[in-house]
Amino acid sequence: MKSTLTKRSPLEKRQMRAALWFLAPALLLLLVFFFLPVVAGLLLGLTDFDIYAIGSPGNARFVGLENYARLLTNDVFWRSLGNTLFFVALGGPLSVAVSLGAAMLVDAKLTRLRPLFRTIYFAPVVTTLVSVAIIWRYLYHPRYGLLNHVLGLVGVGPIDWLGDPHWAMPAIVLLAVWKNFGYNMLIFVAGLQAVPAELYEAAAIDGAGGWQRFRHITLPGLAPTFLFVGVTTMIGYFQVFAEPYVMTQGGPLGSTRSVVLFMYEEGFRWWRIGTASATAVVLLLITLAGALLQFRLQKERT
Amino acid sequence: MKRAAGIAVLLALGCGCGGDGGGVTLRFWAMGREGEVVRELLPDFERENPGVRVEVQQIPWTAAHEKLLTAHVGEATPDVAQLGNTWLSEFVALDAIAPLDARVAESATVDPADHFPGIWDTNVIGDRLYGVPWYVDTRVLFYRSDLLAAAGHPDPPADWEEWRAAMRDVVAAGGGARRYGILLPLNEWPPTVILGLQAGSPLLDVERGYGAFAQPEFRRAFDFYLGLFRDGLAPPVSNNEIANLYQEFARGTFAMYITGPWNLGEFQRRLPAELQDAWATAPLPGPEPGVPGVSLAGGSSLVIFKDSPHADAAWKLVEFLSRPQQQARFYELTGDLPAHKTAWELTGIAADPRARAFRTQLDHVVSTPKLPEWEQIATRVYERGETAVRGAATPQEALEALDRDVARMLEKRRWLAEKGRRP
């Protein structure tokens, strides 16, 4: 065995080379569209690249960590971070719970026409957000919207969903959860099908009720799925952009401005590319910390 | 016959059946409603200029600024575009748009004398002209003539003293009703900035790269502004807190409002029928008696991008859209106020008493400072203004803080000037 590891036969060498050639296109794409931009972003975050520098790059200056220092004293950034954390904290768990619920319904033995339901629930995921947002803007309309109409039937006064700073973010969360839960649902369905049916049968024979089976079989059985879904959802939700951009442009009163929207405005509205790049790095660090925390929690459980 | 020939030409151009050799396609970006209706003017232009086809791309206002900037970075700018005239300085800083002085000097259609001087001036940056005004926009006083008359002011106020008196009397005449003299939303910069300009403040020292807000001229305007809140003549609210502006105006919650031409139509549409004779417009009062108050020089201009390979054809389009007849047609389609004075005569807008206030005001408009940072600075103006209105800072503290913000924002310009690079 050892000899084969240290000394490679010509055949193996040829195979290695072939493997490299097969990997090359993907690696090249990663290099050009991922690693280079990341490095460029890191470097730009240390400069004051702005509108004057777009005209002539010589007008950019190296400013060290000043962009970061300014970011930490910028109210708008903190507000955006707060909004984003709210979105993640409310939308993340809600989205996972709804996905799991939908997955269990779709996967239940009693359910007929499963593929149909799966398709229906998945449809929002593949619909373009802009068209969805237009419909939802109607749903949220304070006077003519369906949502307020239904609430009115049970005696809840009209809510200006997208115009009231207190309600705008919850409204965006609702839209995002509805738009995205189908994707996680499919993953949960796959996870559920991997849980051996004998366990449920054995538990049923032992007299376990529905809740106990869910608590002691389904949840532990889905642990790896949970980790995956949790991490991807969290990363995705930290990067929330399109929903507020299309629905509210960050308003009212900046109550739906997310970190990515802040970054977009800094970069493409004010052309402070330096600050925008620094924001990107900060967001990366936060997301990374969140992901590590989840891994850690999951490890402690198992 | 003419029409048939026109259609034939259109068909020939429209089918674009390859190989029409010298054909030029002009790419024209226009925003919002303007982008939608300008297409109706273009068949005439294409008829007059065989071989030139105009491709209009309509861009929503909310995305226009970003789209234009990214287009510049991506070297995909159009030939001609509509630009809000406060954006010009930014595109000049980017070296993206072409100076038009030489073309205007030779032009038989674009006559600076037929334009409003204040509006024209917004297109002059450094000492070169970069845009031709397409339609214009400024802000005037919209007021409830019935409430003012009932309070003993049959004529609109002409100066600040009369203005304040009218507000006071309107509030007093309201009895116990929740009533204010004027609405000055705390999240809008134009009221504060207009008052500052009226008091003769330059707002910024553009040459040196500092703010001029703490100086006596602006301070005077700021004190007048704050006084309106302190005396209960203006409600300390932002726009978002007014659920329905038109409803509140109809109710008489406030009797005056400073706004622009787009609200001529909105007020007609949204105010109840019985109030249609009870509102009017007037040019803004000024600080001194007998001197008209100035307002903002707004609107959109047509610009030609430097990278355009068809600059001559693009200029033809600009000239075409500048013709008084086209300006008049455009007014009928959009309601946008024409940039050419002759077009005002042609359309008969000047006969409408409510539009007349705009016509008068347009002779007294001033450009906001022409630098790319202005939009950010304007945001700061109302943010700092709000701290003073709410009593979180004294007037002097608020203005000094504003000057500090501005000094930080303009640091790059000062550095560039020091290096001898023209910002």
CB contact under 8 A, A269 and B65: yes
- Return the H-helix or E-strand segment holding B321: helix B311-322
Which residues in B109-173 belong to E strands, given as ranges? 124-125, 128-129, 132-137, 140-144
Question: Domain B22-137+297-351: what homologous superfamily?
Answer: Periplasmic binding protein-like II (3.40.190.10)
Give the pLDDT score at A291: 86
The string of pLDDT tens digits covering residues A43-74 is 999 999 988 888 788 888 899 899 999 899 88
Contacts B66 to A, Cβ<8 Å: 268-269
B72 interaction partners in chain A (CB closer than 8 Å):
54
Interchain CB distance below 8 Å, A271 and B69 = yes
Nearest-Cα residue of chain B relative to residue A56: B94
Q: Determine the average pLDDT of the residues in A161-175.
A: 88
Q: Domain ranges in chain B?
A: 22-137+297-351, 140-295+369-418
Query: pLDDT at position B3, please?
Result: 45
Note whether A55 contacts B412, CB cutoff 8 Å. Answer: no
pLDDT digits (tens, 9 = 90+) for B46-87: 999 999 999 999 999 888 888 998 899 889 999 999 999 889
Among A101-115, A265-279, B141-155, B349-363, whose mean pLDDT is lowest?
A101-115
pLDDT in tens, B345-360: 888 887 888 999 999 9
Q: Is B95 in Cβ contact with A59 (below 8 Å)? A: no
Residue B260: which pLDDT band, with cuts at 50, 70 and 90?
Answer: very high
Same fold: B22-137+297-351 with B140-295+369-418:
yes
| pLDDT at residue B222, as a whole number | 97
Average pLDDT on B238-262 reads 87
Exposed/middle/buried for B330, CB within 10 Å: 0-12, 13-18, 19+? buried
Contact A160/B243, CB-based, under 8 Å? yes
Distance from CA of A203 to the nearest CA of B (A): 57
Stretch B155-174: mean pLDDT: 95
The CA-based angle A108-A110-A113, given to 5 degrees, is 85
Please judge whether A270 and B376 are an interchain contact, meaning their C-beta atoms are less than 8 angstroms apart: yes
Distance CA B160, CA B90 (A): 34
Distance from CA of B315 to the nearest CA of A (A): 24
Instruction: Retrieve residue A141's tokens.
Output: 């309309």
Which of B231, B192, B237 lies closest to B384 in space, CA to CA? B192
A52 contacts B423? CB cut-off 8 A: yes
- pLDDT at B12 > cutoff 50: no
pLDDT reading at A25 higher than 90: yes
Question: Residues of B with CB below 8 A from A252's CB?
Answer: 240
**Confidence tier at B156 by pLDDT (50, 70, 90):** very high
Q: What are phi and psi of A56, to 5 degrees?
A: -145, 115
Share the mean pLDDT of chain B.
Answer: 90
| Residues in chain B within 8 Å Cβ distance of A50 | 412
Tell me, what's the pLDDT at A209?
Answer: 84
Interface test with A, best of B94, B237, B270, B306 (most A CBs within 10 A): B94
Contact A59 B65 (CB under 8 A): no
What pLDDT is stored for residue A179 in this prediction?
93
pLDDT at B6 over 70: no
Question: CB of B79 within 8 A of CB of B314?
Answer: yes
ipTM of the complex: 0.72
Tokens coding B334: 């959009």
Q: How far apart are CA B298 and CA B361, in angstroms?
A: 12
Q: Which domains does chain A have, with CATH numbers?
A: 81-301 (1.10.3720.10)
Average pLDDT in the A258-283 region? 91
The span from the CA of B402 to the CA of B174, in Å, is 36
Alpha carbons B28 and B315: distance in angstroms, whole number: 12
Q: pTM of the entire structure?
A: 0.78
- State mean pLDDT over B185-214: 94
| Contact call for B93 and A51, based on CB within 8 A | yes
pLDDT at B124: 95
Chain B residues with CB-CB distance to A163 below 8 A: 240
Cβ separation A268–B66 shorter than 8 A: yes
Choose among B65, B94, B238: nearest Cβ to A54.
B94
Chain B residues at the A interface, defined by Cβ less than 8 Å, are 62, 65-66, 69-70, 72-73, 90, 93-95, 187, 238, 240, 243, 372, 376, 412-413, 415-416, 421, 423
Q: What CATH number was assigned to the domain covering residues B140-295+369-418?
A: 3.40.190.10
* Distance from C-alpha of B37 to C-alpha of A3, rounded to nearest angstrom: 78
Q: Report, as an integer, the average pLDDT of A35-40.
A: 92
Q: Name the minimum distance, in Å, from the CA of A51 to any CA of chain B.
A: 7
Would you call A268 and B421 a contact, using CB atoms and an 8 Å cutoff? Answer: no
**A165 to chain B: which residues are within 8 Å by CB?**
240
Q: How far apart (Å, rounded) are the C-alpha atoms in residues A119 and A186?
A: 10
One-character DSSP codes across B261-274: THHHHHHHHHS-GG
Q: Work out how many CB contacts closer than 8 A connect A with B.
A: 38
A5 — pLDDT class (breaks 50, 70, 90): low
- E strands, chain A, are none
Model pLDDT for residues B92-127, shown as the tens digit of each residue? 988 899 999 999 999 988 999 999 999 999 999 989
Element (H, E) at B122: helix B117-122
